[in-house]
A and B are shown apart, each in its own frame.
Chain A
Amino acid sequence: MMGKLIECQKLTKSFARIKAIDNVDLSVEPGQTLGLVGPNGAGKTTLFSLISGYIKPTSGQIRVLGHNPGTSLIKGRIGTLPQDTPFLQGISVQAQLSLYAKLQGYTGKAARAEVNQVLEHLKITDLARQYPETLSFGQRKRVSIAQTLIGKPELILLDEPTSGLDPVAANDVRKIIREMGSQCTFIISSHNLDEIDDVCTEVIIIKQGKLVKYCPISELVERDSSLNLLLSHSLPDQAEKDLNLISDIDGVMTDPANPHRVTISFNSENPDQLQLEIMSTVQKHNVSIIEFSRGETLTGKVVDLVKG
């Protein structure tokens, strides 16, 4: 049986006097798709860089796949997508990716075949002969993602994998993550919490360098205890009163930033029936429901956690 995927003990990384990662203890099991989230400056990229071995801890310990991230033993077993990192200029995509494949143990022909397969998977075979400096941001991003998949690594770290991609390409990337999620472990650092909610099973939340929460998303977000509505108008006071009269409803909360957005929390043994009752009560007051979703959102939960 495989041991821990990542183990951090009192991990600290300081830049001058600023502690970017502060005394973090973390133990990650393999076989999950993890989201790494937190506000700007929380230390996501620093933690990501420590796991990848780009930077060394100031104090504490980190072990990835049972070894120090700098050791030769784990090289080729991890794929990393660093944020906004350029490829070498003047050298074709195919040549650079072939080098990476060779470093992972493939020989000449096998390296080219592996690169072609990965490029095909991402639908970017047409970029193989091009130079990185001639590619658009989105194309470079997809090439960067391609290099993480070379050699089928056990752990893939993706820093903002879909930022800058068009919706179709972003969807393709999410599809690949879902497909490969059963074969390897992904750690995805992203500000797009809907994306994390969509593709990840667990989430690590950090704030000011400290670990706030690490748990399954299903444990963090209650799917059957609330209803989120986007309304055509603000909810009238009478409608709110009527909703509060329904026995299983715990509360009605209007989003202060957008009065058209309302979250109704409840505790019911028959949430489907209650949902219908809520919707008909709202519509009775001539308010149309433009959009609705059941359950708490990861975004709301993360915002609550990092604010608190």
Chain B
Amino acid sequence: MKIKRIITLLGFDFYHSLFRLKGLAFLIPFTLFWYGTLRLLNQGGSEFLSSTEGLMLITRFTSLEVAQALLILHPPTLSVFLLTALTVTPLFVFLGANNQLASDAATGSFRYLLSRCTRLEIFFARFLSAYCMIAIAILFACLASTLISLDNDNHTLSETVAYATQSLFVILLYTFPYVAFMTIMSALMSSALGTILISACVYIASLVVIIYLHNDYPAINYLIPSAFKDDLIGITNNNLTVAIPGLLAITIIYLSLAWIIFRRRNL
């Protein structure tokens, strides 16, 4: 495996994804969604969230302690950004990472690459390219949230920047296993649409199984990355020491499964 070839492939795929359906199918809804959400926050949303009513609203999704930490100790705009981003991550990753391998494996376009690089290089380049596109989009959304937070929230610059960095790190970490999950589906399927549909079905089926079985088999929660969501929202170092290795372990397991499928696939 040559890193230089992975970087060349990654750069090519990333750049051209931005102008093709592959990337636009993610970037346009992502931009529209965050434009709408951040606009609401900028129009007084954060003020409302800092109030008692806002606190009550957030306690529907998390505990009072966490809600207080999110809306009073930290800048509320960034906390809402963090909560929203974690909630919509699966959806946007489904849109942004669905066509890592599927179409090109089905049409045979990989054949031109296979005489010049290995399957493993293609596999990693496509995974990283999809991840980079989503990560950069999240970075821009986070930057916009930070600017809005500086304008609206009553926190110092250093507090806001530190919390924004931490939030960004958490969201990017949470995105990793979802992109790897899409790599599995993309290695299995022959089209982008098929990958989205099967991914949604598998994800929903997993949620249903977990809901029914998690009392008897608590370990089953860790089949999907959302098991670590509470640890990430808590944002204390203690919680993160559990979440970071947990999410990385899920990512590695998902990627290994995807590689086993892709390695044997007839191209």
Using a CB–CB distance below 8 Å, which chain A residues touch chain B? 49, 52-56, 70-72, 75-76, 78-80, 82, 84-91, 95-96, 99-100, 102-104, 147, 153
Contacts and interface: CB of A to CB of B under 8 A. Distances in A.
B116 A76 contact: yes
B36 to A, nearest CB: 29
Interface in B1-25: 1-2, 5, 8-9, 12, 16, 19-20
A53 B119 CA distance: 9
24 contacts: A52-B111, A52-B115, A55-B267, A56-B266, A75-B115, A75-B116, A75-B117, A78-B115, A80-B114, A85-B107, A85-B108, A86-B107, A86-B108, A87-B109, A90-B19, A90-B20, A99-B8, A99-B12, A103-B5, A103-B9, A103-B116, A104-B116, A147-B112, A153-B115
A79 B119 contact: no
A88 to B, nearest CB: 6
A54 B110 CA distance: 9
Contacts of A91: 16, 20
Interface in B178-199: none
B108 to A, nearest CB: 4
Assign chain B's interface to a size class: 20 to 34
Interface in B108-141: 108-109, 111-119, 121
B115 A79 contact: yes
Contact of B109 (A75, A86, A90): A86
Interface of A is mostly: loop
B104 interface: yes
B115 A102 contact: no
Closest 7 CB pairs between A and B? A103-B116, A85-B108, A82-B111, A55-B266, A80-B115, A54-B267, A78-B115
Contact of B264 (A56, A72, A88): A56
A102 B115 CA distance: 13
Contact of B118 (A49, A52, A72): A72
A100 B122 CA distance: 13
Interface of B: 1-2, 5, 8-9, 12, 16, 19-20, 104, 107-109, 111-119, 121, 264, 266-267
Contact of B112 (A55, A75, A87): A87
A54 B264 CA distance: 10
A91 B114 CA distance: 19
B9, B108, B116, B119: which has the most chain A beta carbons within 10 Å?
Answer: B116
A77 to B, nearest CB: 9
Nearest to A76: B116
B117 to A, nearest CB: 5
A52 B16 contact: no
Contacts of B1: 72
A91 B22 CA distance: 13
A82 B107 CA distance: 12
Contact of B111 (A70, A85, A102): A85
A196 B5 CA distance: 36
A100 B112 contact: yes
Contacts of A52: 111, 114-115
Nearest to A13: B266
Contacts of A71: 118
A54 B266 CA distance: 6
Contacts of B108: 82, 84-86
A103 B114 contact: no
B16 A88 contact: yes
A152 to B, nearest CB: 13
Contacts of B107: 85-86
A90 B19 CA distance: 9
A126 to B, nearest CB: 21
Nearest to B108: A85
Contacts of A102: 8
A102 B13 CA distance: 14
Nearest to A49: B266
Nearest to A82: B111
Contacts of B119: 70
Contacts of A80: 111-112, 114-115
A91 B17 CA distance: 10
A294 B2 CA distance: 54
Contacts of A90: 16, 19-20
B97 to A, nearest CB: 18
Given A72-B118, A75-B116, A75-B117, A88 B104 contact: yes
B249 to A, nearest CB: 28
Nearest to B111: A82
Given A54-B111, A80-B111, A103 B16 contact: no
Given A85-B107, A99-B12, A53 B19 contact: no
A88 B111 CA distance: 11
Nearest to B109: A88
A103 B113 contact: yes
Given A49-B266, A96-B112, 11 more contacts: A55-B266, A56-B266, A71-B118, A75-B5, A82-B108, A84-B108, A87-B112, A91-B20, A100-B113, A103-B8, A153-B115
A108 to B, nearest CB: 11
Contact of A85 (B16, B19, B109, B116): B109
